[in-house]
Amino acid sequence: MGVHPNIGVAQQGDIPVGRGILVNDFLETQVPDVYAVGDCAEIEVVDGRNRIEPLWYTGKMQGEALAKTIAGERTKYERGVWFNSAKFFDIEYQTYGFVFNEPLDGISSFYWQHPAQDICLRINYKDDTQEVTGVNTFGIRMRHNVWENWLANGCTLKYVLENLRDANFDPEFFNRYEKDIVAAFNQQHPDNQLKLSPLRWLTKRFTKGHANA
Ligand SMILES: Cc1cc2nc3c(=O)[nH]c(=O)nc-3n(C[C@H](O)[C@H](O)[C@H](O)COP(=O)(O)OP(=O)(O)OC[C@H]3O[C@@H](n4cnc5c(N)ncnc54)[C@H](O)[C@@H]3O)c2cc1C
């Protein structure tokens, strides 16, 4: 409840708390039939630091997992690929997977920036396999489910760039930058020319075999 968990209710009811209301991976408190989800929940981690996940999409996923549990199908909460987004007036920022502020060993980065506007994209990928590991976008809105599948399935940078149109989630009539982005990659990599694919419906694109083809 809020950025700082409001745990007063739990404290009144003898429900164990830390910074938030303590729960396990099933979002269960130590009191039978009492659960916590969202900003107020502190997920206990056996070998690491407990997690509070104050984000709307993790709150939604926690709610979905808990709804199944309450309906009789005890379900573990699994966050999946890291995602966050923010919107301030007309500026849109998104991140999927991991893009650290310092480059990590074995990870390379492809970066594109619009020549005149505050619009850019960074995709990190593994040097050896070329699998993408994370993306940041500024001024371009991406589709959550497409990036989640690309990251979870180990899609290569080549595949992602060639199919970048599938990931665009900007409203109709917004400018699209996939052509410019692929052209920038081709200019930087004269020996590895990519060809942008036309937009196709998404369902065919999510298997690893197809992704790395
Ligand atoms: C300024 C701001 C910007 C944010 N931007 C982003 C963003 O860009 N991306 C993102 O993913 N997340 C963002 N968040 C976080 C996101 O809003 C929260 O993670 C999400 O709202 C948490 O949902 P929740 O239901 O757990 O808690 P809340 O949305 O806080 O809802 C809790 C509700 O419980 C009610 N309540 C509290 N105590 C009691 C009580 N005793 N009895 C009954 N009701 C009670 C409260 O009034 C409230 O309505 C932002 C948050 C803030 C404050």
Whether residue 3 has its Cβ less than 6 Å from ligand 1: yes
Strands 41-43 and 21-23: parallel
Contact between 197 and 165 under an 8 Å Cβ cutoff? The reply is yes
Q: Is 118 helix (H, G, I), strand (E, B) or coil?
A: coil
Instruction: Please compute the mean of the pLDDT values over residues 162-178 and round it to a whole number.
Output: 89
Bridge partners, residue 110, by sequence: 123
Q: How far is the CA of 99 from the centre of ligand 1 (A)?
A: 26
Does the pLDDT of residue 173 top 90, yes or no? Answer: no
In the predicted structure, residue 7 carries a pLDDT above the cut 60? yes
Per-residue pLDDT, 201: 55
d(Cα 186, Cα 196) in Å, to the nearest integer? 11
- The 10s digit of each residue's pLDDT in 103-148 is 899 999 999 999 999 999 999 999 999 999 999 999 999 998 999 9
Nearest protein Cα to ligand 1, atom 11: 55
pLDDT of residue 99: 94
CB-ligand 1 contact for 115 (6 Å cutoff): no
- Is the pLDDT reported for residue 2 higher than 50? no
Distance 74 CA to ligand 1 centre (A): 25
Q: What is the pLDDT of residues 179-207, one digit of tens each?
A: 999 999 999 999 999 999 987 755 455 54
Which residue's CA is the nearest one to ligand 1's atom 15? 55
Q: Does the structure show a pLDDT above 60 at 158?
A: yes
Q: 59 CB under 6 A from ligand 1?
A: yes
Mapped onto helix, strand or coil, the DSSP state of residue 87 is strand
User: Does the beta carbon of 93 sit less than 6 angstroms from any atom of ligand 1?
Assistant: no
In whole angstroms, what is the distance from residue 18 CA to residue 12 CA? 14
- Average pLDDT in the 37-51 region? 93
The structural domains of the chain, ordered by start, are: 8-70 (3.50.50.60), 83-211 (3.30.390.30)
Is beta strand 120-126 parallel, antiparallel or unpaired with respect to 132-138?
A: antiparallel
Cβ–ligand 1 contact at 54 (below 6 Å)? yes
Range among 5-19, 62-76, 81-95 rated most confident: 62-76
Please give the pLDDT value at position 211.
47
Report the C-alpha gap between 158 and 130 in whole angstroms.
Answer: 8
ipTM entry: 0.95
Which of 44-48, 156-160, 205-209 has the highest mean predicted lDDT (pLDDT)?
156-160
Dist. CA 17 → ligand 1 center (Å): 18
Question: Do the strands 91-97 and 107-113 form a parallel or antiparallel pair, or are they unpaired?
Answer: unpaired
Q: If pLDDT is split at 50, 70 and 90, which confidence band does 209 have?
A: very low
pLDDT score recorded for residue 213: 38
